[in-house]
Amino acid sequence: VAFTFDDFAAAIEQYDFNSEIGTRVKGTVFKTDANGALVDISAKSSAYLSVEQACIHRIKHVEEAGIVPGMVEEFVIIGENESDDSLLLSLRNIQYELAWERCRQLQAEDVIVKAKVIGANKGGLVALVEGLRGFVPFSQISSKAAAEELLEKEIPLKFVEVDEEQTKLVLSNRKAVADSQAQLGIGSVVLGVVQSLKPYGAFIDIGGINGLLHVSQISHDRVSDIATVLQPGDTLKVMILSHDRDRGRVSLSTKKLEPTPGDMIRNPKLVFEKAEEMAQTFRQRIAQAEAMARADMLRFQPESGLTLSSDGILGPLGSE
What confidence score (pLDDT) does residue 311 get? Answer: 47
Alpha helices (H) along the chain: 5-14, 92-109, 147-150, 173-182, 263-266, 268-273, 275-299
For residues 7-20, average pLDDT: 57
* Dist. CA 205–CA 180, nearest whole Å: 12
Strand 72-81, strand 36-40: pairing: unpaired
What confidence score (pLDDT) does residue 32 get? Answer: 94
Q: Is residue 49 predicted with pLDDT exceeding 80?
A: yes
Query: pTM of the predicted model, to two decimals?
Result: 0.57
For residues 37-49, average pLDDT: 86
Q: Is residue 5 predicted with pLDDT exceeding 70?
A: no
Least confident of 119-123, 257-261, 282-286: 282-286
pLDDT digits (tens, 9 = 90+) for 103-126: 999 999 999 999 999 999 989 999
* Dist. CA 130–CA 45, nearest whole Å: 34
Q: Length of the chain in residues, anyone?
A: 320
Alpha-carbon distances, residue 266 vs 126, 203, 229, 252 (angstroms): 43, 21, 9, 20
